[in-house]
Amino acid sequence: MGECVVGNRESGRESIWASRAVATAIALALILTALAVVSVPAKAQTTFRSLRIGVGEDALSIITLNPLKFTLLYEFVVVYNVYSTLVTYDRSYQVVPDLAYEWTLEPDNTNWTFKIVENAYFTNPSNPSDRSHPVTANDVVTTFNILKNTVGNFFANYVENVTAATAVDTYTVRFTLNEPLNVMMTVASGMPILPAYIWSGINNPLSYRNDVPVGSGAMYYDAVNTTTSTLVLRKSPNYYGEEAYCRYVRPDEVRYIGYTSSAVMVQNFLSGSDRLDIIDHIAPSEYKVALGPTQQNPNGWSPKWAVDTGFVGEISVNVMTPEIRASYQQYRPGSNNQLLLNDTLRRAIAMSIDKTALVENALLGLGIPADTLVPSSNPWHYDLPASNEFPFDPAAARQLLNDAGWRYDASGADNPATTPLYKAGGTDRLRFRFYTLNTATQWDIAARNITGWLRQTGIETTDRLGNTAPGYGLYSINQMSGYWYQGDYDIWLWDWIFTPASDPSLDVLSVQLTSQIGGSGSSDNFYSNATFDSLYYQSLKTLDDAARRQLTNQMQRMVYDYASYILPYYRLDLYAATVGRPNLQAGEFPGWSGYGDWEINAGLVDDSDLPNLWFQLSPLDNPVPVISNFAPIQWVNGTPVSVSVSATNPAPSDGALAYTWDFGDGTAVQTTNTNTVDHTFADPGEYAVSVRVTDSEWTMCASTTATIVEPSPGSNLPPQARGLAFTLSRGTFEEPGVPISFNLTVRDPEGDTIEVEWDFDDGTIQTDTVTNTASDRVVQRQHTYSEEGTYTLTIVITDNQQGLLNHTITLAEEIQIEAVSTPPPTGAGNPLLDIGVPVAILVAIAGAIAYVVVRRRRASREEQQREEMGQQPPAPPPPT
């Protein structure tokens, strides 16, 4: 910083020390204040940002956090937020790196090598900042060996065909397969990496409580604040995803709050009494009525989504044989009716289920009638031909039973219309225990419907005590889990979830394997079929997808035809969120935006067991920079090319954006304060170019491809778009009737005349002609949108030349127009900064000028008096 001087340094008459000191201090203060206003220092985060999620209908249930035996939805949510996996899935359920940033398969198809990041650490919730335990290949190997050697664990079938895991070096691990496998990515995405320093000393991993899990994921489990009705995950300070993949966790915590009543949860959500940002497990009636199209959160519109996440409703007919029950100690206390092993009976039950009516009655239309076990959201779903489905026809089902000998009443009289039906002599009564959950009204409604239809067929149902009214039992998750563990029921209704990324064999159809019976296996109908088992193992090693699909289709058809799994519907998951919390008190965190469209990207839902939503959210007090366009680059080597990204910092974010460029060609990373930079690629080739856009707190990243070719002698080069700038007064959108000013910077290497066509997507098309383009030229346009909507501004730039490269460039920007009644944001909303600082600057400047004028006049009078009296000016005070 240069010196700041007030007064005439060359004149001895202006040497009064106090004047210099005070005036210099004022001037220095002005400079510092001006710098603060112009450069805007990094904003220190003072607000603790919590994402608050309501979970309805008693769905927030956790029995164990041991990943070797978890089964419930929120157990998965905790495990896969706390533990890392080698690879994971993005919001569209595409495979992306996690711990492993690179993986290769050797030509023999039996050796996979994964290279893991070198900046991952296990986070212990008791001391979250501790980095004394890095994640290494040894942790991966230890995890594999635990899963391989622990009988009955959840991942046993995942590692069944993997022979060994070996640490090649500290950060490289190799998996050796006993034969080629199609499902290695599923293994890599499913296996949670455990800390060897903890788990290697556990004698019986399956019984380990794991009350405070230690992992390397994006979040850690806050055991102190987690209760039976609240689950708290905290942002991990050690998460490697920020540095390695630009995945930033923005909530300081994610707090799931359980409600026994969906109605209470929805009411609290709308009123803001519990500061809920998101709600899930909403009852269909609340979703359609309380959250109907006319409802609005007091602080802003509440979006809602009905998402096909892979929930499969399941009517399970227990076909456990006496041999199976005798083989497992856990099953011996239970029982099941052996009549259900009869194929005709199960077929009659399947014909007694009106799937369309269940969707309408129990789910209020918020579901899809189901057929096969792999859900409709999964790309491996087999859509069974209608001609091969069991029709809903209780009369025909009763006739099947009559023909099979069930046509008598309890007295032994021939009475084919009675319920329950018996065989001759009053034997083989068709009465079965029917259980379902008590956690949501949908279960009660569905059970009531199913019980009624079965009675039409001649089948009577009871609760666990034998009561025929209402004919079913409603039980808690813990009770149902206990019945499952003992195989102690005849028929039950509940659901599974298989995500769009679930492997059709390893994750879904495996529940019907014989090996899933007993222990902590996933079978809940105890189906066992050697042919099915053989097809399953064949499907794992079939590398050709078309051939594999034939196998998985056949397995889905086998399960359907056997009818011990009767799939009534694929249930849509129901969610709502609010942009901004209502009824805020002073100093409270205002909430979130940037949820995205969950119906398009199901991997964003808050209970997906993926942390993608935490990466995407934007806090309203300091929104995340928005990158709207980072166009591919086509150019020649040896000549500078303009690389440009379109990015904005929505209000009330403060501060300019900084841009960090990595051109992918080995040159040094470059940081600028402009969204355009020139770069020369030395050699032809294709380069991955990336940019990090940073404001005072957040970073957003984007990547594109630079295709660089060898120039032809004398070839004409295309024009270059050097960036498009515009500002929306509302930050991310503009109001109808408010003009928007656009500034487009272009140039052409040869100075060719450039034509620019603006298509505003509302019927307005305008054209500009630009000359003298050897240097940057700014093209200005102003446009006003009169109606609400989403418009795509398309700009076509051309120099009307021919050459090696495309001479027409197209830019596209999405413009959101919305009508609102509140005033536009005014920066950070701090009156001291918005008004006080400018006023203070003006007052200080005026004060400084007045002070200097007064002192000069006084000094002039004193000098005149001294000259008249022959005196010298006083010496300045000694330095202190």
Amino acid at 261: S
Average pLDDT over residues 457-480: 96
pLDDT at 623: 92
**Rounded Cα gap, residues 449 and 361, in angstroms:** 8
Q: Per CATH, which fold does 51-302+578-619 belong to?
A: D-Maltodextrin-Binding Protein; domain 2 (3.40.190)
**Rounded Cα gap, residues 284 and 301, in angstroms:** 20
| pTM of structure | 0.82
State the pLDDT confidence band at 859, using cuts at 50, 70 and 90: very low
pLDDT per position as a tens digit, 754-780:
999 999 999 999 999 999 999 999 999
**Rounded Cα gap, residues 759 and 761, in angstroms:** 6
Indicate if the alpha-carbon torsion angle 840, 841, 845, 851 is positive or negative. positive
pLDDT at 296: 54
Cβ atoms of 493 and 443 within 8 Å: the answer is yes
Cα distances (angstroms) measured from residue 82 to each of 46, 376, 444: 25, 29, 35
Average pLDDT over residues 664-693: 96
Superfamily of domain 308-572: Dipeptide-binding Protein; Domain 3 (3.10.105.10)
**Rounded Cα gap, residues 457 and 345, in angstroms:** 10
pLDDT at 727: 84
State the pLDDT confidence band at 851, using cuts at 50, 70 and 90: very low
pLDDT at 654: 65
Both structure tokens of 238: 């050690």
Residues contacting residue 9 through CB under 8 Å, at least 6 positions apart: none
Residues contacting residue 503 through CB under 8 Å, at least 6 positions apart: 183, 186, 380
Residues contacting residue 199 through CB under 8 Å, at least 6 positions apart: 142, 143, 146, 205, 208
Evaluate if residue 14 carries a pLDDT over 60. Answer: no
Which sequence spans correspond to the domains of the chain?
12-40+829-869, 51-302+578-619, 308-572, 626-817
The conformational region for residue 518 under phi > 0 = left, psi -120 to 50 = alpha, else beta, is left
The mean-pLDDT minimum among 429-433, 724-728, 791-795 falls in 724-728
Residues contacting residue 85 through CB under 8 Å, at least 6 positions apart: 98, 99, 188, 189, 190, 191, 192, 193
**Rounded Cα gap, residues 716 and 719, in angstroms:** 10
Is residue 546 within a helix (H) or strand (E), and if so which, with residue range? helix 545-562
Is residue 445 within a helix (H) or strand (E), and if so which, with residue range? helix 441-457
Amino acid at 625: P
The mean-pLDDT minimum among 67-76, 106-115, 576-585 falls in 576-585
Long-range contacts of 557-561 (CB under 8 A, 24+ apart): 557/372, 557/382, 557/384, 557/388, 558/529, 558/531, 558/532, 559/372, 559/373, 559/509, 559/512, 559/527, 559/532, 560/371, 560/372, 560/373, 560/384
The mean-pLDDT minimum among 54-63, 506-515, 857-866 falls in 857-866
The mean-pLDDT minimum among 152-161, 332-341, 791-800 falls in 152-161
pLDDT at 728: 86
pLDDT at 13: 30
pLDDT per position as a tens digit, 196-213:
999 999 999 999 999 999
Is residue 462 within a helix (H) or strand (E), and if so which, with residue range? strand 460-462
pLDDT at 32: 36
Evaluate if residue 822 carries a pLDDT over 80. Answer: no
Give 114's strand partners.
103, 173
Angle value at C-alpha 793, between 791 and 794, nearest 5 degrees: 135
Is residue 778 within a helix (H) or strand (E), and if so which, with residue range? strand 777-784
**Rounded Cα gap, residues 717 and 639, in angstroms:** 10
Q: Per CATH, which fold does 626-817 belong to?
A: Immunoglobulin-like (2.60.40)
Cβ atoms of 93 and 501 within 8 Å: the answer is yes
Chain centroid to CA 440: 26
Both structure tokens of 338: 């052996």
**796 SS3 class:** strand
Q: What is the dihedral of CA 156, 161, 163, 169, to 10 degrees?
A: -80
pLDDT per position as a tens digit, 401-443:
999 999 999 999 999 999 999 999 999 999 999 999 998 899 9
Both structure tokens of 308: 């096909």
**Rounded Cα gap, residues 770 and 757, in angstroms:** 11
pLDDT at 391: 97
Average pLDDT, rounded, for the chain: 88
Percent of the chain with pLDDT over 90: 78
Evaluate if residue 17 carries a pLDDT over 50. Answer: no
pLDDT at 758: 98
Closest CA to 789 of 762, 811, 824, 822: 762
Amino acid at 193: I
Strands 278-280 and 50-55: parallel
